[in-house]
Chain A
Amino acid sequence: MDLSPQVLAQLAAVCPDGLLTAPEDLAVYGFDGTAALKQRPGAVVLVRSTQQVVECVRIAAAHSVPIVTRGSGTGLSGGSVPVAGCIVLCLVQMDAILEVDPNNLTLRAQSGAITQKIDEAAGKHGLFYPPDPGSMKISTIGGNVAENSGGLRGLKYGVTRDYVMGLEVVLPDGRVVNLGNACVKDVAGYSMKDLFIGSEGTLGIITEVRLKLLPRPAARRTMLAMFERMEDAAQTVSAIIAARIIPCTLEFLDRMTIRCVEDFARIGLPTDCGAILLMETDGHPAAVAEEAQQMEALARLHKAREVRTAKDASEATTLATARRSAFSALARVRPTTILEDITVPRSALAEMVGFIAESAARHRLQVGTFGHMGDGNLHPTFLTDERDHEEMARVHLALEEIVTKTLSLGGTITGEHGVGLAKKQWIRKQLGDASFELMRQIKMALDPRALLNPGKIFD
């Protein structure tokens, strides 16, 4: 579906150097980080200011053309995959970090700013921005807010939502609203900003964010525990939490994932062990030392073969970086990687982990599992080939089983990647009719003409 010359002319008038319409430009905005989803947009606009966003939204509204907002396109549920004939508004050029306020511990940035740059800007003042998704070196803060992204430090520090103090949002009719403020407490009416966190670009376009920062912890210790069996790693996590320790990171990789990561990063991970736990504690030096000791003891109690401590900050960073590459590294094995994002109550972790392995074996599939074990958030990743239809059918059977099992354990189909296109077939099942309808009513109230990211989350 092509856009009318009139729409294109108006867009060009608003963003003379930002409008892209060549086939070579459209093809490359047709996908995000999700496997096997592709759709060419009608046009792409690289916007530079809130004002340009407003004017593009007005043009789209006047001509009833849908808009799909895009950050860096690393989403894993198809959130920024275009709708046929839509306008893609890409915000990566709106990447200014506007202010770091070390007195109030806040930071203001345009929503196209890269997550890692935000943390680095905070770092210059001895502060930090805790949510650190695996994609942080390229994901935008707008994308993080729209997906309510988690990260490796979620166990202790929470997710993106816990750090959003205020948002500037362009609504589907072109109005600009400022939600939230720099106050630590605020109960003036509904918490409107919270509505837009995790809204996946379906309610409004976030153009600016105000974030909460924390003082950088004085000390940090990173350890790697190696296990023969995945179940022992899961037991260790439960034991650590039962011992009332809240480390900032408890990430795990299974055997398949370890092999792929080692193949890429070559940092000497043992490729013959069944699971690795990456554990990190931070805070006051004395507390860190004590917690690290306890965690190491608990790992050994649960049959850890070896526990290694990173010798310095740079080795700790190397380990975390290797963990961040897990998902992409799994793609080394087969052409298509289909990744899930299920989350279960932590007490059900060992059972879920076992079920995934069993289901994959029964359907004769290759699976690599890694994830934020401390959060109960697992990423079973099927390694397959989208061109092999018979195998893909088996993948879908396994996925269906895993989702059903997750829900029966009181879990959720997505812990951090969002519903988008990839998970929408299951959302009603998880939420139940009443909550599902409530969500739809909210969408209708804000975007009655379904102009923003139509077809995502629900139809």
Chain B
Amino acid sequence: MATLRELDYSVLQQCMHCGMCLPTCPTYDATKRERHSPRGRIALMRAIADEEIAVNRTFAEEMSYCLGCLACQTACPAGVDYATLFETARADIETAGLPQSVARRFWRWLTLRALFMHPARLRLVGKILRWVQSNGLDVAARAAGLTRLLPADLRRLEPQAPAISPAFSDDLIEPDELSRSAGPVRRRVALLTGCIQDLAFSEINRDTADVLLANGCDVHTAPEQSCCGSLHSHNGATDLARTLAKRMIDTLPPGEFDAIISNAGGCGSHLRHYSSLLKDDPQYAEKARLWDSKVRDIHEWLMGIGCRAPEAAPEPGPVTVSYHDSCHLAHGQKVVQPPRALLALLPGVRMVELPEASWCCGSAGIYSITQPEQSAQLLERKVGHILGTGATILATANPGCHLQLLNGLRAKGSKVELAHPVTLLARAYRNERKNLKTKIN
């Protein structure tokens, strides 16, 4: 990937300083300082391209403060490609090799290199965590003060670490499952099971497969999938991101499927841009273009093929549901209506719109680790809005948001349930069968 200096200058010039993005930027909103706004950050990048300022510590801090939520990209009438600017800037910062704190380096190494490059290792850590959690050892260790041995950042996060799913996706989903629903068109799709999604939310993957099957799609999954590389790209590790993208294309050759389905906002947003990542790779450029054209968010896909409305309700009684937009689903992939439309198909569900639904919740990849204060403020604001709706279920479609909101709500003593929209749909389909059985009996 080009550096800011090598980047086609027109990408930087595209910003015409109108300021229309400022009110949508959470960090500008927090400080009202131009530097913390999209317009300011782009101006800094342009100043770097013009060699007026250097890629230095201040710039690195600035880009670390940016959530990468892409709200500015949605707001920008001028069509500024902030996602590319953001990733280029972060990659520049990494290449500049600025001195960083030991803790930050450790974190980057652990997440980007040691874990998320190796699915088997990630699984192993997951298994250990699962064992620790299921035996109540985490509570015991915390009580015994053992966790004090962890670095401070880690200690703060440790109680918030995701509860690991009792089973991983490949325990729950066969590599090839054929749809039994008798529809006129049969489609073959690949389902991406994700890494975090797989560790913490493998049930959501099962639910996704179920609703696909119920809508006439044969579902293929790869037993061992790599991380899609979104974390890497987002944090300036472009080379690693490229390796992961190629691995993914090899695992799920796009030519074999009608669609490649993602159910996690953050991954989907990255998965759709393999072609720009691999555009200079003679072997993969073409495949990557085909790949991009096949990637679909699950809600977008289901609504596009005419999702069947369930006849049963997901819950025993009527419920109020609200929906939080994952930044990378709403701003990165521009998928805003389909999840809402999907929820509106559910009987017994009253939808209330969440105020500031597409305002970042502060999860933003590893932002809650790198910028804990700003992250906590955003979470507080979001939780306030959620509680204000009176909803008993909050739907959201990204594991990062899911975990962040779960922690935020539980910290406030709230019992609001978090669910992927697809989970609610799957439940409703399952209840149809239950109702049928009761009728027959």
Contacts and interface: CB of A to CB of B under 8 A. Distances in A.
A336 B33 CA distance: 25
A74 B19 contact: yes
B34 A28 contact: yes
B120 interface: no
B17 A73 contact: yes
Contacts of B14: 331-332, 335
A29 B19 CA distance: 12
A140 B10 CA distance: 30
Interface stretch (B71-79, B174-182, B263-271): B71-79
Contacts of B76: 328
Interface residues of A, number: 40
B43 A33 contact: no
B23 A114 contact: yes
Contact of B22 (A29, A72, A263, A326): A72
A325 interface: yes
Interface in B56-94: 58-59, 62, 76-79
B18 A135 contact: yes
A24 B17 contact: no
Contact of A138 (B22, B35, B78): B22
Contacts of B33: 20, 25, 46
A22 B58 contact: yes
A332 B76 CA distance: 10
Given A27-B53, A264-B79, A33 B58 contact: no
B146 interface: no
Interface in A335-381: 335-337
Contacts of A95: 32
Contact of A27 (B16, B37, B52): B52
A31 interface: yes
B20 A135 contact: yes
A332 B47 CA distance: 21
B13 interface: yes
B44 interface: yes
B34 A328 contact: no
A92 B36 CA distance: 14
B177 to A, nearest CB: 36
Contacts of A331: 14, 16, 18, 77-79
Contact of A24 (B22, B35, B79): B35
B18 A24 contact: no
Interface in A3-26: 20, 22-25
Contacts of A74: 18-19
B78 A329 contact: yes
Nearest to B13: A335
B44 A335 contact: no
A114 B20 CA distance: 12
A93 interface: yes
B43 A337 contact: no
Given A24-B59, A33-B17, A335 B10 contact: yes
Interface in A58-99: 72-74, 90, 92-93, 95
A137 interface: yes
A27 B18 contact: no
B347 interface: no
Interface string B183-210: 0000000000000000000000000000
A147 interface: no
A114 B79 CA distance: 24
A33 B62 contact: no
A93 B33 CA distance: 9
Nearest to B40: A28
Interface in B35-53: 35, 37, 39-40, 43-44, 47, 52-53
Contacts of B22: 72, 138
Interface in A421-444: none
A328 B13 contact: no
Interface string A20-55: 101111011111111100000000001000000000
Contacts of B23: 114, 137-138
Nearest to A20: B33
Contacts of B78: 328-329, 331-332
B32 A46 contact: yes
B43 A27 contact: yes
A214 to B, nearest CB: 24
B19 A73 contact: yes
Contacts of A335: 9-10, 13-14
A24 B44 contact: yes
A128 interface: no
A263 B77 CA distance: 9
A327 interface: yes
A93 B28 CA distance: 11
Contacts of A27: 43-44, 47, 52-53
A9 B129 CA distance: 54
Contacts of A25: 33-35
Residue of A93, A265, A325, A326 most packed against chain B (CB within 10 A): A325
A72 B47 CA distance: 20
Contacts of B40: 28
A30 B13 CA distance: 15
Contacts of A328: 16, 18, 20, 76-78
Nearest to B11: A335
A35 B16 contact: yes
Contacts of B47: 27
A24 B53 contact: yes
Contacts of B18: 33, 74, 135, 327-328, 331
A25 B61 CA distance: 13
Interface of B: 9-10, 13-14, 16-20, 22-23, 32-35, 37, 39-40, 43-44, 47, 52-53, 58-59, 62, 76-79
Given A46-B33, A137-B20, 6 more contacts: A24-B35, A28-B40, A95-B32, A137-B23, A264-B79, A337-B16
Interface of A: 20, 22-25, 27-35, 46, 72-74, 90, 92-93, 95, 114, 135, 137-138, 261, 263-265, 325-329, 331-332, 335-337
**Shortest Cβ-Cβ A-B pairs, 3 listed:** A328-B77, A325-B77, A331-B78
14 contacts: A24-B44, A25-B33, A25-B35, A28-B37, A33-B17, A33-B19, A46-B32, A73-B34, A135-B18, A326-B77, A331-B18, A331-B79, A336-B13, A337-B16
